[in-house]
Amino acid sequence: MAAKPGTARALAAARAVALAHAVACDDAVVVGDGSNVMVHLKPAPVIARVMTGTAVLHGDLERWLAGEVAVGAFLGERALAVAPTDVLAPGPHEHDGLWMTFWDFVEHDASGVLPRADELGGALRELHAALADFPGELGPLTDVRDWLDRLAAALRPSPRLSAQDRDALRSRLEALSPTVFESALPAQAIHGDASMSNLLRTGGGLLWNDLEDVCVGPVHWDVAGLVVDARARGAGEAFVADLLRAHGGPDLAALEDFIAAHLLYTTIWGAFAAQRRSQTQDSA
C-alpha cells in the first residue's frame, strides 16, 4: 500500500530531532499513519507523534502539544496512560514545519480484540477520577466547537455535499452548543478523544493513549465518545449499558446531545478529510 503524502517527511523529521538529541534511531519505522504519523525510533524505546492531519485544527500548536505532554506526564505517573519519554526531551519539537512529541514505546496487544464493557467503563472512570485533580491549564471544550465550525465553513459544495448540507451542519453545531460545548454541567480535565483506538492493552492492563485533544469539559463528552465508538464497532445496547454502569457517571438519556455532537463531529471531519484527499490527488 502506498504511503500517504507527507509520511516520508514526517519520518525524516522525527529522525532528525532524535539524532539532534543523540538518540540512535537507525531502524526507525512508521507504525501508524492515520490523522498523524507515529514513528517507532528503533532501536530506542521511543514513539514520535508527528502532527500532520490534525495540525489544521489548532492555532497555537506548541501550546496545544505542551498541554498533551503535561497531562501525559501526570497520568503516566499514575500508570493510567502512556507517558512522555525520558530518553530525550518529550517536546513539543518543531522540524521542517512539523510539530511532534515523544513518548514511551509500550508493548501491547495489537490483535484488535475489544476490551470488555466493564473494563472500558472502569478505565474511563479511573481516568476521570485522576484528571479531576490535574492542576494545569487546558483549553475549553468550546475550542472543539470552534474548529469544527471552521472545518464546516471550509467545505466546498460537491456532488456529495451541497451548500445547503454544509449550512445545515453548521446550524446543527450551533444548536448543540448550549447543551454540549457551553454546557452548565460540572467541568474538569477530560481526554477529549476517548475511544478504543486510544486504549492499549498491556501486560499491566489498559493504558490511555493519544492525549492530543485533552481539554476542560463535562465528563459526558468522553463517555459519549466511548458509546459512539462501541456502537460503531458493532456493540449492542447491553454492552453500552454495562459500560455506563461500570463508569458510574451519566446515563444514556443525559448523553443524548453529546452523542449527537460526536456523530456530527465524525460527519464534518470525514467530509473535510475527503475534500483534502481530493485536493491532494488533483495536485499530484
Domain range list for the chain: 7-104, 117-283
Residue 247 C-alpha from the chain's centroid: 20
Residue 58 has pLDDT above 80, yes or no: no
**Dihedral (Cα; 148, 153, 158, 164), 10-degree rounding:** 100
Q: Give pTM, 2 decimals.
A: 0.92
The reply to whether 117-283 shares the fold of 7-104 is no
CA angle 156, 158, 162 (to 5 degrees): 85
11-38 residues labelled b (16+ CB within 10 A) or e (exposed) = bbbbbebbeeeebebeebebeebebbbb
Please name the residues in contact with 139: beta carbons below 8 A apart, sequence gap of 6 or more: 64, 67, 215, 216
- pLDDT for position 280: 60
Per-position b or e across 119-129, b if 16+ CB within 10 A of its CB: bbbbbbbbbbe
Per-residue model confidence (pLDDT) at position 44: 96
Using pLDDT thresholds of 50, 70 and 90, give the confidence band for residue 29. Answer: very high
pLDDT band, residue 206 (cuts 50/70/90): very high
Q: Which CATH code is given to the segment(s) 117-283? A: 3.90.1200.10
Which residue would you say has higher pLDDT here, 111 or 20?
20
Q: What letter does residue 180 receive in the DSSP assignment?
A: I
Question: Tens digits of per-residue pLDDT, 156-205?
Answer: 988 888 999 999 999 999 999 999 999 999 999 999 999 999 999 998 89
Tell me if the domain spanning 7-104 has CATH number 3.30.160.
no
